[in-house]
């Protein structure tokens, strides 16, 4: 197997990201990453091997997790859930699969899924846009982690370094672009680990 490998990734989402962008032709992946890629309309397929040991990955919402906000469900459609999140407002989130039936859900997204733009950027309607102010930044080698305030919510965003890219300044107004497909809806009624 190693002789046919093109790369070893250091993060569990590195394999599906590489397959989605055409860097790899195939790869072993945690099932929910593969299924998410398929249901997000990437031109990929996901199959379980005929012989395998199935070890399900557990999902937990950790108390104090970054970029998680509880919201009240305001509408449900076949492929969309509308959720009102305090300090952010109404979110219309596309869904491909099961959504918890709770009236209150946690909307969560990873820091690397946000795009940071100048505040006056023309807003593409395919994204959810949030206004923000840079509060702090930390250089972490391959990316800079920004702490951004949007309304009364603190958001963490990771921005990869590119040659010539200017570091954002504390106090700078920005616009955050969030692809709706990157928002995970999780039940809030489950046990939380502090």
Percent residues over pLDDT 90 in the chain: 15
How confident is the model at residue 55, as a pLDDT?
55
> For 38-57, what is each residue's pLDDT tens digit?
777 777 777 766 666 655 55
CA-based nearest residue to 92, from 59, 132, 125, 131: 125
CA distances from 180 to 107, 108, 138, 171 (A): 10, 11, 26, 26
> For 129-175, what is each residue's pLDDT tens digit?
889 999 999 988 788 899 999 887 889 999 887 766 778 899 999 99
139 vs 30, more confident: 139
Query: Quick one: pLDDT band at residue 193, thresholds 50, 70, 90?
Result: very low
Query: Quick one: pLDDT band at residue 2, thresholds 50, 70, 90?
Result: low
> For 6-20, what is each residue's pLDDT tens digit?
677 767 667 778 777
Name the average pLDDT for the chain. 78
**In this structure, how many other beta carbons lie within 10 angstroms of the beta carbon of residue 168?**
18
- Residue found under tokens 């009102």: 84
How confident is the model at residue 1, as a pLDDT?
54
Query: Which DSSP state fits 166?
Result: P
């Amino acid at each position: 197997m190693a002789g046919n490998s093109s790369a070893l990734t250091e993060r569990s989402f590195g394999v599906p990201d590489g397959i989605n962008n055409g860097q790899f032709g195939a790869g072993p992946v945690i099932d929910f990453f593969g299924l998410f890629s398929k249901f997000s309309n990437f031109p990929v397929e996901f199959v379980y091997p005929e012989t395998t040991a199935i070890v399900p990955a557990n999902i937990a919402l950790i108390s104090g997790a970054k970029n998680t906000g509880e919201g009240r469900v305001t509408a449900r459609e076949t492929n969309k859930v509308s959720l009102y999140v305090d300090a952010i407002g109404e979110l219309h989130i596309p869904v491909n699969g099961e959504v918890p039936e709770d009236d209150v859900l946690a909307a969560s997204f990873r820091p690397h899924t946000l795009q940071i733009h100048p505040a006056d950027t023309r807003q593409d309607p395919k994204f959810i846009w949030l206004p923000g102010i840079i509060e702090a930044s930390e250089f972490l080698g391959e990316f800079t982690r920004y702490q951004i305030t949007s309304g009364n919510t603190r958001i963490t965003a990771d921005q990869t370094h590119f040659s010539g890219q200017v570091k954002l300044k504390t106090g700078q107004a920005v616009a955050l672009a969030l692809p709706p497909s990157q928002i995970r809806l999780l039940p809030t009624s489950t046990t939380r680990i502090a």
